[in-house]
Amino acid sequence: MADNPKRQHYLGFDAQGAFWVLRVNGVDLWTQSSTGLYSSSLPVNHMLKKGENTVSLVHVATRKLDPKTGESLLEHHDHFGAEIRLRAIARDGSREEIHLLSVRYEVDGGPLKRLPQPLAGGEFVTETAHLKTEGDLRGTFSPVEDGAVLVLGSGESDPAETLTVRFTVDDDLPGDFFWEDKAVPLQDTPEMRAGLRRAYQDIHGLFEEGRFRAYLDIVRPVWARAGQTIAGGKSAEEFVGGEQHLREKYRRNRDDGSTLSPLLISADPGGDSLEFMADHRLVRIRPDPLRWNFPPEAHRNDRRVPAVFFRDADGAWYLADIVMN
């Protein structure tokens, strides 16, 4: 196990003119299903590892609606643009930041151009004392990868394009994720879909039965890494506040008025909308089936557990991660 990292890392991003999902080391960080400008900065220590990492922007560029069908037309256009930055903040407050990606479409000047300068002005930075990227702020552009698909939270999907950037982080972060030496590539077969459903059903059953200690044991590797990298070396139990906190958060009928819903999967496994990650080694069902519903009069969105799973070489299924959205 690595020592506690000396810096907290944040991924800042701005994107517009597309539906997109942002992934760190192949795993979802954030999904956006509207095309307006969206800007944010999110903590990513738990998604990074010491040495080489990747950030990918999987996107479907949209420009306007088809007047005949009312559906969005998918095409390159000059309203699409994206910038991604990585910031490291040390315990003493000192900061480092590099630019990972800064692009836009220019119809008259070629399909993809780097921005002439960062959105905030100044010069591009590609290397600091503890952060480094390859320096090509366009990233690695893949014009419609074979099988690349963007799956939104609603379950809708479209052929997508991917921009991937490699960068290195010099910090006391853990190495490979616990699932990397266990997860096998997944083929979309009826047998695989049935196994994934059983994995969701097992988690849902723990919530129904109030078996929160068993749930903690299942998700322990995820929360242990988060506790180490984000919360200053806390254990999984300390990070989530112990079994009692889990009981309050995941019990069937919560104090906030929400109630555990039946598992939200289609009648036919073939109808499940699957999102694959990390070179097809991780998978989730969209929309997320694990939900707590509020009564209509509360006017609040469902509470979700965005769980991601993997299968090992023996065919057993495990929870790999709980992503942000």
Q: What are 216-239's pLDDT values in tens digits? A: 999 999 999 999 999 999 999 999
Q: Which helix (H) or strand (E) holds 95?
A: strand 95-104
Backbone angles phi, psi at 9, to 5 degrees: -110, 140
Six-digit token string for 280: 């097809």
What pLDDT does residue 108 have?
Answer: 64
- For 171, the 3-state DSSP assignment is coil
Q: Which helix (H) or strand (E) holds 105?
A: none
What pLDDT does residue 43 have?
Answer: 98
Six-digit token string for 252: 């069937």
What pLDDT does residue 145 have?
Answer: 47
Q: What is the DSSP letter of 121?
A: S
The residues with which 23 forms a beta bridge, in sequence order, are 28, 56
- For 118, the 3-state DSSP assignment is coil
- For 217, the 3-state DSSP assignment is helix
Q: Which helix (H) or strand (E) holds 224?
A: helix 212-229
Distance CA 36, CA 112 (A): 19
Which residue positions in the chain have pLDDT lower than 70?
1-2, 107-111, 136-147
- Are 276 and 270 in contact by the 8 Å Cβ rule? The answer is no
What pLDDT does residue 1 have?
Answer: 52
Backbone angles phi, psi at 89, to 5 degrees: -120, 120
Among 310, 303, 305, CA closest to 322: 305
- Can you count the helices (H) and strands (E) in the chain? 4, 21
- Are 60 and 158 in contact by the 8 Å Cβ rule? The answer is yes
Distance CA 189, CA 272 (A): 12
- Are 174 and 225 in contact by the 8 Å Cβ rule? The answer is yes
Residue that has been written with the tokens 């256009």 in this structure: 77
Distance CA 155, CA 121 (A): 37
Q: What is the CA radius of gyration of the chain?
A: 21
